[in-house]
Amino acid sequence: MEYAVKRVGYAIFVLFLASLVTYLALRATPGNVASSVLNPATTPPEVIAELRAELGLDDSMWQQYTDYASGLLTGDLGFSLVNRTPVSTLIGDSATYTVVLAAAAFALAFGLGVPIGVLAALNQDGWFDRLVRLVASCMQAIPNFVLALLAVLVFGVRLGWLPVSGAATASSLILPALVLAAEPGALTTRVTRTAVLEQIAADYTRTLRARGVPRRRINWIHILRNSLSPIISLGAIQIRTLLGYTLIVEVIFRWPGLGTQLVQAVLNRDYPVAQTLALLLAAVVIVSSTLSDLMYRWADPRVRLGGSEPS
Amino acid sequence: MTAVELPQFTLVDRKRSRERARRVGRVRVLVLVGYGIIGVFGLVAQLVPSLEHRMTDQSMRDTFLPPLSPGHLLGTDVLGRDSLWRLIGGLGVSLSVGLTAAALSVVLGLVVGILGGFFGRAAEVTTSVLVDVMWAFPAILLAIVFAGWLGPGLPAVVLALALTGWASFARIVRGEVLSLREREFIAAAQVLGVPKVVISFRHLLPNLLPVKMLMSVFFVATAIVAEAGLSFLGLGAQPPTPSLGVTLAEGRDYLNVTWWPVVIAGGVLTVLVLLLNGLSDDLRDRFDPKLRERS
H or E segment to which residue A60 belongs: none
Predicted local confidence at residue B293, as pLDDT: 44
Q: Is residue B184 part of a domain?
A: yes
The string of DSSP letters for chain B reads -PPPPPPP-----HHHHHHHHHHHHHHHHHHHHHHHHHHHHHHHHHHHHHHHHHHH---TTSTTPPTTBTTBTT-B-TTS-BHHHHHHHHHHHHHHHHHHHHHHHHHHHHHHHHHHHHSHHHHHHHHHHHHHHHHTS-HHHHHHHHHHHH-SSHHHHHHHHHHHHHHHHHHHHHHHHHHHTTSHHHHHHHHTT--HHHHIIIIIHHHTHHHHHHHHHHHHHHHHHHHHHHHHHTSSSPTTS--HHHHHHHHHHTTTT--HHHHHHHHHHHHHHHHHHHHHHHHHHHH-HHHHHH-
Q: How far is B290 from chain A (nearest CA, A)?
A: 15
Taking an 8 Å cut-off on Cβ atoms, the answer to whether A143 and B273 are in contact is yes
Taking an 8 Å cut-off on Cβ atoms, the answer to whether B266 and A146 are in contact is yes
Distance CA A172, CA A160 (A): 12
Distance CA A26, CA A7 (A): 28
Q: Which residues have CB under 8 Å from B221's CB, separation 6+?
A: B98, B272, B273, B276, B277, B280
Whether pLDDT at A24 is above 80: no
Predicted local confidence at residue A116, as pLDDT: 92
Q: How far is B146 from chain A (nearest CA, A)?
A: 7
**A79 backbone dihedrals φ, ψ, rounded to 5°:** -120, 150
Taking an 8 Å cut-off on Cβ atoms, the answer to whether A153 and B235 are in contact is no
Q: Is residue A142 part of a domain?
A: yes
pTM over 0.90: no
Predicted local confidence at residue B294, as pLDDT: 42
Nearest CB neighbour to B145, from listed A15, A25, A240: A25
Question: What length does chain A have?
Answer: 311
Number of folded domains that form chain B: 1
Rama region for B139: left / alpha / beta (φ>0; ψ in -120 to 50; rest): alpha
Interface test with A, best of B124, B131, B141, B255 (most A CBs within 10 A): B141
Domain hosting residue B89, numbered range: 23-50+74-294
Greater pLDDT, A87 or A116? A116
Q: Give the residue from chain A lying closest to B125, CA to CA.
A: A10
Q: How far is A26 from chain B (nearest CA, A)?
A: 6
Q: How far is B188 from chain A (nearest CA, A)?
A: 27
Residue A210, domain CATH: 1.10.3720.10
- B240 preceded by cis ω (within 30°)? yes
Predicted local confidence at residue A309, as pLDDT: 45
Q: Is residue A247 part of a domain?
A: yes
Q: How much is the CA Rg of chain B, to the nearest whole Å?
A: 24
Taking an 8 Å cut-off on Cβ atoms, the answer to whether A153 and B263 are in contact is yes
Number of folded domains that form chain A: 1
Predicted local confidence at residue B27, as pLDDT: 57
Greater pLDDT, A46 or A8? A8
Per-residue pLDDT reduced to its tens digit, A182-212: 888 998 998 889 888 888 888 888 898 899 8
Nearest CB neighbour to A244, from listed B129, B141, B273: B141
Q: How far is B190 from chain A (nearest CA, A)?
A: 26
Predicted local confidence at residue A202, as pLDDT: 85
The string of DSSP letters for A188-243 reads HHHHHHHHHHHHHTSHHHHHHHHTT--HHHIIIIIIHHHHHHHHHHHHHHHHHHHH
Q: Give the residue from chain A lying closest to B137, CA to CA.
A: A282
Taking an 8 Å cut-off on Cβ atoms, the answer to whether B133 and A18 are in contact is yes
Size of interface A-B (CB pairs under 8 A): 124
Q: How far is B231 from chain A (nearest CA, A)?
A: 11
Cα atoms in the Cβ-side hemisphere of radius 13 Å centred on B19: 5
Interface test with B, best of A15, A146, A158, A179 (most B CBs within 10 A): A146
Distance CA B187, CA B190 (A): 5
With CA atoms as reference, report the closest residue to B235 among A246, A266, A259, A142: A266
Taking an 8 Å cut-off on Cβ atoms, the answer to whether B137 and A26 are in contact is no
With CA atoms as reference, report the closest residue to A236 among A275, A185, A292: A292
Distance CA B65, CA B252 (A): 17
Q: Is residue A273 part of a domain?
A: no
Taking an 8 Å cut-off on Cβ atoms, the answer to whether B232 and A248 are in contact is yes
CB A151 within 8 A of CB A175: yes
Contact residues on chain B for A13, CB-CB shorter than 8 A: 129
With CA atoms as reference, report the closest residue to B236 among B154, B113, B137: B154
- In chain A the first and final C-alpha atoms are separated, in Å, by 19
Taking an 8 Å cut-off on Cβ atoms, the answer to whether A247 and B144 are in contact is yes
User: What is the pLDDT confidence band of residue A311, given thresholds at 50, 70 and 90?
Assistant: very low
Nearest CB neighbour to B138, from listed A22, A240, A263: A240
Q: Is residue A252 part of a domain?
A: yes
Per-residue pLDDT reduced to its tens digit, A220-253: 888 888 887 778 777 777 777 788 788 888 888 8
Contact residues on chain A for B129, CB-CB shorter than 8 A: 13-14, 17
Q: Is residue B234 part of a domain?
A: yes
List residues in chain B touching A: CB distance below 8 A: 129, 132-133, 135-141, 144-149, 152, 175, 225, 228-229, 232-235, 248, 251-252, 255-256, 259, 262-263, 266, 269-270, 273-274, 277
Q: How far is A235 from chain B (nearest CA, A)?
A: 15
Taking an 8 Å cut-off on Cβ atoms, the answer to whether A282 and B136 are in contact is yes
Residue B41, domain CATH: 1.10.3720.10
Predicted local confidence at residue A40, as pLDDT: 60
Kindly tell me the sign of the dihedral angle through the C-alpha atoms of B201, B206, B210, B212: positive
Nearest CB neighbour to A143, from listed B145, B229, B234: B229
CB B49 within 8 A of CB B56: no
Contact residues on chain B for A285, CB-CB shorter than 8 A: 135-138
Alpha helices of chain A — where are they, by DSSP H?
2-27, 33-37, 45-55, 61-74, 87-122, 127-141, 144-151, 174-200, 203-210, 215-217, 224-252, 258-267, 271-299, 301-306
Domain hosting residue A178, numbered range: 105-267
Taking an 8 Å cut-off on Cβ atoms, the answer to whether B175 and A311 are in contact is yes
Q: Which residues have CB under 8 Å from A47's CB, separation 6+?
A: A38
User: What is the pLDDT confidence band of residue A131, given thresholds at 50, 70 and 90?
Assistant: very high
Contact residues on chain B for A158, CB-CB shorter than 8 A: 259
Q: Which residues have CB under 8 Å from A110's CB, separation 6+?
A: A185, A188, A231, A235
Q: Which residues have CB under 8 Å from A27's CB, separation 6+?
A: A33, A64, A68, A271, A275
Q: Is residue A65 part of a domain?
A: no
- Mean per-residue pLDDT over chain A, rounded: 79
Interface test with B, best of A164, A266, A289 (most B CBs within 10 A): A266
Work out the average pLDDT over A119-139. Answer: 88
Q: Give the residue from chain B lying closest to A10, CA to CA.
A: B129
Q: What is the pLDDT along chain B (295 residues), one digit of tens a residue?
A: 445 555 444 445 556 666 665 665 555 666 667 667 666 666 665 666 666 666 666 666 666 667 666 666 667 776 667 777 778 778 888 888 888 888 888 888 888 988 888 888 888 888 888 888 887 777 677 777 676 667 777 887 888 888 878 887 888 888 888 888 888 888 888 888 888 888 888 888 888 877 777 778 888 888 888 888 888 888 777 777 778 888 888 888 777 777 778 888 888 888 888 888 777 777 776 766 554 444 3
H or E segment to which residue A166 belongs: none
Q: How far is A270 from chain B (nearest CA, A)?
A: 10
Taking an 8 Å cut-off on Cβ atoms, the answer to whether B140 and A248 are in contact is yes
